[in-house]
Amino acid sequence: MAGPAPDTATPVSTTSQLPCCPARGKPKPYDRKNRAGPKPATSHKTSAKSPTNKADKREALTLGDWLDVLDYIDKNPGATQPKVVAHFATRLEGALLFDQSLLSRNALVKGRARLATRLEATANARDTRRAHIVMCPDVEHALWLWHQSMEARGKTPSGAMLVAK
């Protein structure tokens, strides 16, 4: 006695032949981190490092940082340049890391004059690390207006948008 004929066999479910996988649930929403709001307008950007987490690598100081250093030198005329460097490397508000040769270059009359001209050049010069030289002021102004309008609309300008503009 042979089994039933192949054309009269009972149909086999195709789902029973697949490996059993549990159903996947809906993905959870992306957990966004809260970003800090805008900084107060009274303070300038700084290159200061926290005293507990100093980086070994020096960074260029902002113009505001250099003006703070020069104010300290003016208020403490007896301080030598190495002592000024050591003072700013260990200050509690945040360490400003620079060496004596940079201090000498910026503390001389010629260096102070160069820093003063940079300060008068733009409104946000205290926050910058180097001079921004503009070749076409009209294009620079148009770009600034476009950037302000993008920020007012809540959009972030990208390089592709700039190329298209």
State what percent of residues in the chain have pLDDT above 70. 77
- Dihedral sign, Cα of residue 80, residue 86, residue 88, residue 91: negative
pLDDT tens readout for residues 63-74: 899 999 999 999
pLDDT tens readout for residues 33-45: 776 666 666 667 7
Domain ranges of the chain: 44-133, 134-165
pTM: predicted TM-score of the whole model, two decimal places: 0.54
Write the Ramachandran bin of 94: left for phi over 0, alpha for psi from -120 to 50, otherwise beta. Answer: left
- Chunked in runs of 10, what are the mean pLDDT values of the chain (165 residues)? 56 57 78 67 70 63 90 93 93 87 88 88 81 82 89 87 80
Gap between the Cα atoms of 115 and 99, Å rounded: 18
